[in-house]
Amino acid sequence: MARPKSSDEGGQAWIECKRPRGCSSIRSCCLLILDTRPTHSTKRHYPLQQKHLRIYPKVAEMNTMQRATGSAFTALRSIGASARLFHSSPRPLIKVGDAIPDVEVQEGSPGNKLSIAKELKGKALIIGVPAAFSPGCTSTHIPGFIKHRSQLPESVYVVAVNDAFVMKAWAESFPQAKDSGIRFIADPSGKFTESLDLLFDGTAIFANHRSKRYALVVEDGKVSQLFVEPDNTGINVSKAENVIASLK
**DSSP state, residue 169:** H
Note whether 75 and 83 are within 8 A (CB). Answer: no
Q: DSSP assignment of 17-46, as one string?
A: E-SPTT--S--TTSPP-EE--TT--S-EEE
- Rounded CA-CA distance 68/74 in Å is 10
Specify the amino acid at residue 244: I
Q: Which of 166, 34, 184 is nearest to 105 (CA)?
A: 184
Give dist(CA 32, CA 15) in Å, integer.
8
* Residue 137 known to be catalytic: yes
- Per residue in 177-186, is it b (16+ CB within 10 Å) or e — as a string? beebebbbbb
Provide DSSP, 92-127. Answer: PPP-TTPBPP--EEEESEEEEEEEHHHH--SEEEEE
Which entry of 17, 29, 30, 137 is annotated as an active-site residue? 137
What residues have CB less than 8 Å from 42, skipping those under 6 apart?
Answer: 57
Q: Which residues are catalytic?
A: 137
